[in-house]
Amino acid sequence: MIDLYTAATPNGWKASVMLEEAELPYKVKALNLSKLDQKQAWFLQVNPNGRIPAIIDHEDGDFPVFESGAILIYLAEKTGKFLPTERKARSRVLQWLMFQIGGIGPMMGQANIFYRYWPEKYQPAIDRYQNEAKRLLGVLNQRLGESEWLGGEAYSIADIANWCWVRTHRWSGVSLEGLNDLERWMVLIESRAAAQRGIAVPTPSETLREPDEEETRRLIENVRKMVQR
For residues 174 and 166, what is the distance between their CA atoms, to the nearest angstrom?
10
Domains of the chain by range and CATH?
A: 2-79 (3.40.30.10), 87-198 (1.20.1050.10)
For residues 110 and 206, what is the distance between their CA atoms, to the nearest angstrom?
22
Task: Enter the pTM of the model.
Answer: 0.92
> Per residue in 3-15, pLDDT tens?
999 999 999 999 9
Contact between residue 152 and residue 144 where contact means Cβ atoms under 8 Å apart: no
Indicate if the alpha-carbon torsion angle 120, 125, 130, 131 is positive or negative. Answer: positive
> Per residue in 148-170, pLDDT tens?
999 999 999 999 999 999 999 99
